[in-house]
């Protein structure tokens, strides 16, 4: 695992068509650029595109004949057909499940998902629960998340002892949440399971990375980028007992203010995070690309909308030579 991208706003939302054609075009474009991880956010228990992927949101039983699930399976298989491509499948916008700490629902959900995908290559990875905040955006109690994750983990392990399972924090997946929640690994193998990973999301500083944050001439520093990474490294090398981890989402919501990317400060952030500091620390990065505010790939044209994809790889053209050029105002 090195660098990757998200199929954002496709199976967890309604911004883009949830089709193999739309997904495969994006996968092809990123693969040609050397990206080898695709994260597929999926909403299972909440209504998306008219209905849920589960039969009963209060139970969490996956509808195994649902047309959208069949497309997700096709997308997973398509991505896995690419040599060296890893696929991260998750449970994403599960609002009621998170707000009410519905452990039994998460347990049933992952029992079913594990069975459905049991025969897939081990490059398919399961991320148990994305950003588990309440409906009012407050944190899920750490004890609830540990308990719920342990139940889901046990169901996955009952199906497969070697499938990689991913754990994270209890609100927005910030790096600091992981050591606050995972003070021990008792519910996920006790530190003796080599097939457990952790993840965090990197939108630091939010005043620069977030959508509709004003202009994008924020004078972010190297410490803004390295701080969360080093927080995770410290945990991974202590409580985590050497557990590997990756950045599951990161990016800048520049498209909430501008139609075209001409801001060198945004380019510099992408380049510095993905081609400098993360590789030096051995941390895979999976950029958030939703085809909208965080756009890199354009679904309408099936082509990259800007050169951020090249910035991630280490070299990209700037508009002029100044970091804070006119495109950032």
Q: What's the rounded Cα separation, in Å, for the pair 16 and 18?
A: 6
The CA distance from 293 to 329, in Å, is 17
CA 108 to CA 44: how far, in whole Å? 12
CA distance 115 to 103: 18
- Overall average pLDDT of the 266-272 stretch: 98
How many separate domains does the chain show?
Answer: 1
Q: Residue 93 is part of a domain; what is its CATH number?
A: 3.20.20.80
Token pair belonging to 94:
């599960």
3-state secondary structure (DSSP) of residue 247: strand
Say if residue 174 is exposed, middle or buried (CB neighbours under 10 Å; 0-12, 13-18, 19+): buried
- pLDDT attached to residue 213: 78
Helix axes 222-236, 264-272, angle to 10 degrees: 20
Query: Roughly how many angstroms between the first and final C-alpha of the chain, as a whole number?
Result: 36
DSSP 16-46: S---HHHHHHHHHHHHHTT--EEEE-B--SS
Token pair belonging to 34: 């050397």
Nearest of 228, 142, 229 to residue 187 by alpha carbon: 142
Residue 212 has pLDDT above 90, yes or no: no
Q: Are 199 and 176 in contact (CB under 8 A)?
A: no
Beta bridge partners of 255: none
Structure tokens at 19: 């089709």
Q: Report how far residue 239's alpha carbon sits from residue 230's, in angstroms, rounded to the nearest whole number.
A: 14
Say what the pLDDT of residue 1 is: 77
Cα of 53 vs its chain's centroid, Å: 20
Give the per-residue pLDDT at 214: 76
Structure tokens at 88: 């991260």
Residue 97 has pLDDT above 80, yes or no: yes
Which pLDDT value is given to residue 325? 97
How many other C-beta atoms can be found within 10 angstroms of the C-beta atom of residue 132?
28
Q: What is d(CA 3, CA 97) in angstroms, rounded to the nearest whole number?
A: 30
Q: What is the pLDDT of residues 18-47, one digit of tens each?
A: 999 999 999 999 999 999 999 999 999 999
Instruction: Report whether 30 contacts 5 (CB < 8 A).
Output: yes
CA dist., res. 177 & res. 268, Å (int): 27
Q: For the chain, what percent of residues have pLDDT higher than 70?
A: 100
Mean pLDDT, the chain, integer: 97
Beta carbons of 103 and 53 less than 8 angstroms apart: no
| Residue 312 buriedness (CB in 10 A; 0-12 / 13-18 / 19+) | buried
Tell me the residue range of the domain where 108 lies: 3-328
Angle between helix axes 67-80 and 20-32 (nearest 10 degrees) is: 20
112-162 per-position pLDDT tens digit: 999 999 999 999 999 999 999 999 999 999 999 999 999 999 999 999 999
Tens digits of residue pLDDT in 271-322: 999 999 999 999 999 999 999 999 999 999 999 999 999 999 999 999 999 9
pTM: 0.98
């Amino acid at each position: 695992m090195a660098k990757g991208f998200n199929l954002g706003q496709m199976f967890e939302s309604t911004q883009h068509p949830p089709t193999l054609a739309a997904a495969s075009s994006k996968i092809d474009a990123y693969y040609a650029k050397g990206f080898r991880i695709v994260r597929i956010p999926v909403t299972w228990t909440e209504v998306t595109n008219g209905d849920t992927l589960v039969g009963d949101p209060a139970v969490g039983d996956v509808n195994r004949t649902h047309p959208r699930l069949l497309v997700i399976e096709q997308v997973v298989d398509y991505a896995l057909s690419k040599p060296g491509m890893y696929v991260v499948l998750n449970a994403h916008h599960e609002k009621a499940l998170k707000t009410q700490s519905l452990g039994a629902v998460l347990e049933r959900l992952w029992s079913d998902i594990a069975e459905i995908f049991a025969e897939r290559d081990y490059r398919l990875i399961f991320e148990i629960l994305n950003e588990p905040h309440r409906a009012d955006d407050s944190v899920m109690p750490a004890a609830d998340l540990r308990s719920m994750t342990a139940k889901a983990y046990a169901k996955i392990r009952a199906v497969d002892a070697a499938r990689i399972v991913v754990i994270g924090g209890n609100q927005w997946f910030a790096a600091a949440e992981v050591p606050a929640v995972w003070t021990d690994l008792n519910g996920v193998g006790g530190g003796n399971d080599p097939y457990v990973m952790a993840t965090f999301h990197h939108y630091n500083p939010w005043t620069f990375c977030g959508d509709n944050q004003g202009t994008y001439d924020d004078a972010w520093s190297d410490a803004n980028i390295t701080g969360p990474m080093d927080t995770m490294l410290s945990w991974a090398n202590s409580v985590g007992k050497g557990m590997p981890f990756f950045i599951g989402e990161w990016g800048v919501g520049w498209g909430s203010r501008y139609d075209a990317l001409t801001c060198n400060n945004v380019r510099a952030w992408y380049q510095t995070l993905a081609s400098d500091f993360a590789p030096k620390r051995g941390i895979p990065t999976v950029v958030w690309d939703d085809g909208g505010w965080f756009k890199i790939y354009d679904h309408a044209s099936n082509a990259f909308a800007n050169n951020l994809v090249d910035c991630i790889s280490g070299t990209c053209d700037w508009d002029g030579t100044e970091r804070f050029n006119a495109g950032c105002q």
